[in-house]
């Protein structure tokens, strides 16, 4: 079986994009497909698979998102930017579009050839200053975006820029599975520099490791910091491992706009002889 695909990346968060309107894979098949083709060195390799499908409502198309372990996720900010570009380039949608996701409809805009903006799902659950039982962390903030919510732990970590990720991995995994989080959580460590810009490192559930960027995690972190500064609105620049992202925050409206690159990497056919979908 040969499967047409496009490889894309946004701030180093990489994705395999397929058109499921023609492939017609079931949920179980998409889950199995993602777990196999995302496996680096053994197949194409990626953080996740995104499948374009027919919408169930009034959106231009439906985005189905599967992590590298085969689990389906509610939404992905970097993925939404990339799939928006895919939809524009393939003639599925125009320069302004609406993407249906599990967490709700997501508006998206083409700003330039590879620069896109998406509206992240708004904060629906927020809990600040949760005492954490580890001396490395004084407290943890928790934010869910959308409904059902995408869960994010936001952790202030001084000296983050000089800290090796290997030193944070055990702590990140511990927080990711903290029992007070009903669905587990993505874990976003951050520190603020003297210019008010954020350094962010995200440990993602489903990937079960640090990724080069997390769009919804960047949004959740920008929201927390803006709230802590008691600002009504802010444009927050975030430095992630894969580059830079901007989040426009409106605290009163609970609005988050994510801006960044969406890059086409390659197109071709998956010929994986071990694929069992």
In this structure, are 105 and 214 located in the same domain?
no
In this structure, are 133 and 239 located in the same domain?
yes
Higher pLDDT, 136 or 1: 136
Q: What is the pLDDT of residue 7?
A: 98
Specify burial of residue 104 (Cβ count, 10 A radius: 0-12, 13-18, 19+): buried
Q: What is the pLDDT of residue 206?
A: 84
Q: Is 186 annotated as a binding residue?
A: yes
User: What CATH number is attached to the domain comprising 109?
Assistant: 3.10.310.10
**How is residue 208 written in tokens?**
């079960």
- Report yes or no: 273 and 16 within 8 Å, Cβ to Cβ: no
pTM of the model: 0.92
Does 65 map to a domain?
Answer: yes
Whether 30 shows a pLDDT value over 90: the answer reads yes
In this structure, are 137 and 188 located in the same domain?
yes
In this structure, are 160 and 178 located in the same domain?
yes
In this structure, are 81 and 154 located in the same domain?
no
pLDDT confidence tier of residue 58, bands split at 50, 70 and 90: very high
In this structure, are 104 and 131 located in the same domain?
no
Give the domain range for residue 13.
Answer: 3-114+262-270
Q: Is 215 annotated as a binding residue?
A: yes
Q: Active-site residue 214, yes or no?
A: yes
Q: Active-site residue 76, yes or no?
A: yes
State how far the Cα of 225 lies from the Cα of 128, in Å rounded to an integer: 11
Q: Is 134 annotated as a binding residue?
A: no
Q: Is 56 annotated as a binding residue?
A: no
Set 120, 214, 249, 256: catalytic member: 214
pLDDT tens readout for residues 118-154? 999 999 999 999 999 999 998 999 999 988 889 999 9
* Cα torsion 238, 72, 277, 68: sign: positive
In this structure, are 159 and 255 located in the same domain?
yes
Set 48, 49, 76, 256: catalytic member: 76
Higher pLDDT, 206 or 89: 89
pLDDT tens readout for residues 67-91? 999 999 888 999 999 999 999 999 9
> Domain tally for the chain?
2
Q: What is the pLDDT of residue 72?
A: 94
Whether 1 shows a pLDDT value over 90: the answer reads no
Whether 176 shows a pLDDT value over 90: the answer reads yes
Q: Distance of CA 28 to CAs 44, 71, 75, 199, 205, Å?
A: 20, 10, 18, 37, 19
Tell me the pairing of strands 104-110 and 96-101. Answer: antiparallel
**Percent above pLDDT 70 for the chain:** 100
Mean pLDDT of the chain: 95
């Amino acid at each position: 079986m040969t499967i047409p695909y496009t490889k894309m990346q946004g701030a180093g968060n990489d994705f395999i994009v397929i058109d499921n309107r023609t492939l017609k894979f079931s949920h179980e098949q998409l889950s199995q497909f993602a777990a196999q083709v995302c496996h680096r060195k053994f197949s194409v390799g990626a953080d996740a698979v995104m499948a374009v499908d027919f919408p169930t409502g009034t959106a231009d198309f439906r985005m189905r998102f599967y992590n590298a372990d085969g689990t389906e996720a509610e939404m992905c900010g970097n993925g939404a930017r990339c799939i928006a570009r895919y939809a524009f380039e393939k003639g599925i949608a125009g320069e302004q579009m609406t993407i249906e996701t599990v967490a709700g409809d997501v508006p998206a805009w083409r700003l330039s050839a590879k620069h896109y903006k998406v509206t992240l799902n708004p904060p629906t659950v927020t809990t600040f200053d949760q005492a954490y039982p580890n001396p490395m962390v004084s407290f943890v903030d928790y934010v869910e975006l959308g409904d059902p919510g995408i869960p994010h732990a936001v952790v202030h970590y001084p000296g983050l820029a000089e800290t090796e990720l290997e030193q944070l991995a055990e702590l990140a995994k511990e927080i990711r599975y903290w029992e007070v989080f009903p669905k587990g959580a993505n874990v976003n460590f951050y520190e603020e520099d003297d210019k008010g810009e954020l350094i962010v490192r995200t440990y993602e559930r489903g990937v079960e490791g640090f990724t080069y960027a997390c769009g919804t995690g960047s949004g959740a972190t920008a929201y927390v910091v803006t709230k802590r500064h008691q600002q009504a609105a802010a444009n927050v620049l975030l430095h992630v491992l894969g580059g830079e992202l901007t989040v426009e925050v409106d605290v009163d409206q609970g609005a988050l706009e994510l801006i960044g690159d969406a890059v086409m990497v390659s197109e071709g056919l998956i010929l994986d002889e071990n694929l069992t979908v």
